Amino acid sequence: MKLAFFAVVALASSLLAAAQGSPKPDNSPKPAACTTAGVRKEIRSLTDAEWSVVSSVVLAMNRDGWGRWFAYVHTQNFNTIHGNSQFFPFHRRFTIDYEQIAQRYSSSFYLPYWDTVSDYRAPQTSEVLTNKYIGGNGQGANGCVSDGFLANINVGYPNTHCLVRKFDKGDGIINSWYAPEYILSIIQRDTTMAQFRPDMEMSLHGAVHLGLGGDMIEQWSPNDFAFMVHHANMDRLWDQWQDNGNTWVMDGVDNKGANMTIDSQILAYNEPVSSVMQLGHGSACYYYDTNLPGDRNLPSQASAVAQSAVAKDKSNSSNGKKNNGEDSDGSKKTKRIVHPAKTNKPEIDDFFLGVASDVAAGVQQLNEDIKDSLEEVDQFFKDAFKGITKGLSKSLHKSAQNVVTTLPPNVLDKWFPKMAGLGKDIANNKVTGLKRPQKGHNIANKAVAAIPVPPTLGSKWAKMHKFDAAEVRRYNEKARQFVQDLQDAQYVPLK
């Protein structure tokens, strides 16, 4: 199947721009490429051996106090890392930190992610929330998790208690999350971090936390490994957005209202944002299975070669001494996270007392080649979408295919600007061999119910994050308007 000549011309410039990504400013040094970079995979795609490594390491870390440590760090910095442009760089660095500690236990550990948009309609039915993986809803009056690899464990922050989950709709049901189409729309239309961050933080990010409930709706949410697989996914979606022309985009403000740039410091890590802006470089020695570069040595998760991806510990903790936020000359520098001595088990109680004052008060289309071959995506889309859907997961790519062939030009213009030109050519029969399906039917003929209206995050969530309630409502109304516009266009999503 081929595009008409003029369609090719019309697409060329937009596809090229999307594929190239934004240039990096010349005034900041480019982070060095990692010697070896591992692969973060979707949790359900892990082999039994890979999952065994992940689950056993997480349990060992919890036993040794690391679960408590990460919950503590997140809590102490909660109000400075949400609601501003520190959100994505901090959480990327935070998951890297967790991964590096885990690699002390097993060099083959790489953090999996949970593609939550693939489960958006009825999240409680996800295989991830079964005994095979992280377990489901908590049981009993206290909501203690009793299945999955986390069954019956105790967590240690802010006090010792069972790991709690309480699904938000009650009776073991979770309110629907955000559809692939909406996340695709955000990736397509947002061109600044000041747009992208709240669009994501006040949609999918919040919905998953609220949906699982329990520890996940508290400041100490890293108690639950669900936090890590969720934030690995948020990080992956940031990477997808970056690969749609926003590689080095960092703007907006931090928690104090200061302008954010790639030269800004990541709160509590005393490292520049540039160090985590490009996967496979700097401290981000990993890629996602949805966006693999073809020219790198990428070991499997079970490969011992992955050990070289562990970054050097910058806390000077190998001698067991605590760093008090001072440089070698004794001058005070930005406060930073300081880990215990480089052993598996931190002396957590004593260490907490000694390091508390040191923790900041406020702490990369279709290159996946898509492994299951995307039988339902014909050669036209493989060719025409290379720039538009660069780095997208299977669920988002299928949605993109459906969206561009079924939605009218005005809706594409509003919500999917990078696909609008192609959509108009399809609507006007300018693409040889490809016609729009009848209204109300998707191209794969797999009709399902309309996209559900997304849930509100609620006043309690807004208050805990110190978000302006009106702003939270505004972002929810935007998502609801998106759903309404698609319903008015008689859009039918894929299964």
- Tell me which range, 25-34, 263-272, 388-397, is most confidently predicted by mean pLDDT: 263-272
Tell me the mean pLDDT in the region 403-410: 88
CA atoms within 13 A on the CB side of 284: 27
- Do 299 and 422 share a domain, yes or no? no
- Do 402 and 452 share a domain, yes or no? yes
CA atoms within 13 A on the CB side of 218: 17
**Residue 5: inside a domain, yes or no?**
no
Query: According to the model, what pLDDT value does residue 398 have?
Result: 76
Whether 221 has a pLDDT exceeding 90, the answer reads: yes
In this structure, of 21-35, 306-320, 403-417, 430-444, the range with the lowest mean pLDDT score is 306-320
Whether 388 has a pLDDT exceeding 90, the answer reads: no
> pLDDT band for position 240 (50/70/90)?
very high
Query: According to the model, what pLDDT value does residue 292 have?
Result: 85
Torsion, Cα of 72, 78, 82, 85 (10° steps): -80
Which among 317, 335, 358 is the end of a domain? 358
- Do 231 and 266 share a domain, yes or no? yes
Length of the chain: 495
> pLDDT band for position 244 (50/70/90)?
confident
Whether 302 has a pLDDT exceeding 70, the answer reads: no
State percent of the chain over pLDDT 90: 57
- Do 82 and 165 share a domain, yes or no? yes
Number of domains, the chain: 2
Whether 37 has a pLDDT exceeding 50, the answer reads: yes
Give the pairing of strands 265-266 and 38-40.
unpaired
The Cα 424–Cα 422 span in angstroms is 5
**Residue 98: inside a domain, yes or no?**
yes
Q: Do the beta carbons of residue 451 and residue 181 sit within 8 Å?
A: yes
- Do 345 and 410 share a domain, yes or no? no
Whether 293 has a pLDDT exceeding 90, the answer reads: no
Query: According to the model, what pLDDT value does residue 392 have?
Result: 64
Query: According to the model, what pLDDT value does residue 2 have?
Result: 35
- Do 451 and 306 share a domain, yes or no? no
> pLDDT band for position 400 (50/70/90)?
confident
Query: According to the model, what pLDDT value does residue 187 have?
Result: 93
Per-residue CA distances from 361 to 83, 268, 348, 358, 462 (Å) = 16, 8, 19, 8, 20
Q: Do the beta carbons of residue 390 and residue 19 sit within 8 Å?
A: yes
- Do 349 and 394 share a domain, yes or no? no
**Residue 295: inside a domain, yes or no?**
yes
Which among 297, 325, 358 is the end of a domain? 358
Q: Do the beta carbons of residue 194 and residue 169 sit within 8 Å?
A: no
**Domain interval for residue 414:** 371-488
- Do 347 and 432 share a domain, yes or no? no
Query: According to the model, what pLDDT value does residue 430 have?
Result: 65
The Cα 429–Cα 432 span in angstroms is 7
The Cα 129–Cα 292 span in angstroms is 27
Backbone phi, psi, residue 271, to 5°:
-130, 145
Tell me the mean pLDDT in the region 324-341: 41
User: What CATH number should be reported for the domain holding residue 43?
Assistant: 1.10.1280.10
State percent of the chain over pLDDT 70: 69
- pTM value > 0.75: yes
- Do 59 and 192 share a domain, yes or no? yes
Query: According to the model, what pLDDT value does residue 448 have?
Result: 64
Tell me the mean pLDDT in the region 217-239: 97
Whether 368 has a pLDDT exceeding 60, the answer reads: no
| Tokens coding 471 | 């702003």
Query: According to the model, what pLDDT value does residue 24 have?
Result: 55
Distance of CA 230 to the CA centre of its chain: 6
Between residues 362 and 378, which one has the greater pLDDT? 378
In this structure, of 56-60, 141-145, 450-454, the range with the lowest mean pLDDT score is 450-454
Tell me the mean pLDDT in the region 320-328: 35
- Do 125 and 219 share a domain, yes or no? yes
In this structure, of 57-61, 236-240, 262-266, 426-430, the range with the lowest mean pLDDT score is 426-430
**Residue 493: inside a domain, yes or no?**
no
> 108, 22, 100, 110: which is closest to 288 by C-alpha?
110
Q: Do the beta carbons of residue 144 and residue 154 sit within 8 Å?
A: no
The Cα 92–Cα 101 span in angstroms is 14
Whether 179 has a pLDDT exceeding 80, the answer reads: yes
Whether 354 has a pLDDT exceeding 70, the answer reads: no
> pLDDT band for position 339 (50/70/90)?
low
**Residue 234: inside a domain, yes or no?**
yes
- Do 38 and 175 share a domain, yes or no? yes
Tell me the mean pLDDT in the region 82-92: 98
Whether 455 has a pLDDT exceeding 60, the answer reads: yes
In this structure, of 310-324, 383-397, 435-449, the range with the lowest mean pLDDT score is 310-324
- Cis omega (within 30 of 0) for bond into 25: no
How buried is 191 (Cβ within 10 angstroms: 0-12 exposed, 13-18 middle, 19+ buried)?
Answer: middle
Per-residue CA distances from 440 to 93, 287, 408 (Å) = 44, 38, 12
Q: Do the beta carbons of residue 302 and residue 53 sit within 8 Å?
A: yes
- Tell me which range, 294-303, 368-377, 417-426, 482-491, is most confidently predicted by mean pLDDT: 482-491
Query: According to the model, what pLDDT value does residue 372 have?
Result: 37
Which among 334, 358, 382 is the end of a domain? 358
> pLDDT band for position 229 (50/70/90)?
very high
Whether 323 has a pLDDT exceeding 80, the answer reads: no
- Do 239 and 304 share a domain, yes or no? yes
**Residue 324: inside a domain, yes or no?**
yes
State the average pLDDT for the chain: 78
> 262, 235, 239: which is closest to 250 by C-alpha?
262
**Residue 450: inside a domain, yes or no?**
yes
**Residue 245: inside a domain, yes or no?**
yes
